[in-house]
Amino acid sequence: MGVGQNFPLAGILLAIVTFVAMLLLGLDPGLAVAVLVIWVGSLLLAAGRPPDPQRVSTDPGFTPESMSKLIEHGATPILVTQKNTVAVANAAARRMLGRHIIGQDARVAFRQPEAISLISNNRNGRALVRGLVRRRDIWEINRQSLDDKLAVIELINQTAEADISRAHTDFVANASHELRTPLASILGYVETLQESGGDLDTPTATKFLATIEREAKRLHSLISDLMSLSRVEAEKHDLPQEVIALAPLIHTASNDAAGEARSGRLDLSLDPSLHVLGDRQQLEQLVRNLVDNALKYARPDSTVKVMLDTSRDGQARITVADEGEGIAPEQIPHLTRRFYRTDPGRSRASGGTGLGLAIVKHIVQRHRGRLDIESDLGKGTRVIVRIPLADGSDASERDVAITTEKTTAGTMS
């Protein structure tokens, strides 16, 4: 009921009559005014107080039908049960559980022991239900009684939170494993050198030291990539503002990735007119990662093509193409996962950390771009990055997409 309907007119009239009577009886006017103010104030305060939810349910107008209008368009699935039978389900609940849920026993609908116990015992509380809609779904049921017959059940999707928690756990486990492997190798060889007391011949000692150096460099690369990934993720919502000429940046970063030994294998074709709003350091890292991957996993005598041009939708397009073994189509959607490798042994032997494409994906996301990977088994791989031009009007959010047109070569680290 509204406050207007609760306005205490009769009580106020009674207070005024009392006030007049006190004056006629010759009582102190100040006392009479004080009594009037306190009386009327208490009545108005009581009229403006929200109704007691425990008393609302006793109102004849408080019915499942009246509640249906209140909850119908809520984004959260909500059910109203009457003696544990679903009397009302809003649109979100009907989409989720089906229209047949109305009139069904709520315990049958949820099936889980925790939910059945919660509903059967008419308790107010929460319970987790797994596999309610899909096999890996996790839903929290929040039940609150309105009276001895009616109750409201709210369904809260906890699947995303569980997935995030699982991803963090997997990441920590994978990172720990990747860090432990080179550390164990380094410690093992150092202990051998220490225990030998200088008795090892020079070739053996040199071999051991070379192994220690290689594993230390691998450890350094892994830590650097972890830090880079952390920085990129922390800045992913900050739009870059610097106008960058892509051609000289790609030229420098490609040659840095190749080094003197492999620079002859690069074939660069760069449009000098293209500019983007970007983070220079991150774009250089993106190019280095892609070129380094292509050079590692292409055939030793083949050429890696690095191209910069304009895509059909008017964006800057960076393409890195190699000639290698290619990647199976079913593996392409997983390539940007952290520590994912199609050939773990080969990747580690070449110094790969398994984080290169994960870093590329997050850099592309921050630049509101798109990432595509195409591959043909036995022929090679093409990685294509599209980024909105600085002078273009299309700066809308784009999801990073991994498409499978064909597949290319080389196992990506």
CB count in 10 Å sphere of residue 360: 27
- Cα–Cα dist 151/81, whole Å: 5
Sign of CA dihedral 19, 23, 28, 29: positive
Tokens coding 170: 């997997």
**Contact, 305 vs 324, CB < 8 A?**
no
Tokens coding 260: 């003197």
Sign of CA dihedral 53, 54, 60, 65: positive
Residues 6+ apart with CB under 8 A from 389: 274, 275, 276, 310, 314, 315, 316
Looking at residue 178, its amino acid is E
Sheet of 380-388, strands arranged across: 266-270, 304-310, 315-321, 380-388, 370-376
Tracing tokens 């294998």 back to the chain, one arrives at 265
Task: Indicate if 168 belongs to the active site.
Answer: no
Sheet strands (E) in 303-345: 304-310, 315-321
**Contact, 124 vs 144, CB < 8 A?**
yes
Residues 6+ apart with CB under 8 A from 266: 254, 255, 258, 291, 303, 304, 306
Q: Are strands 85-89 and 78-82 parallel, antiparallel or unpaired?
A: antiparallel
- Cα–Cα dist 408/406, whole Å: 7
Q: At CB < 8 A and 24+ separation, what contacts does 85-93 make? A: 87/150, 88/64, 93/155
Which is the catalytic residue, given 73, 100, 168, 177? 177
**Active site residue ranges:** 177
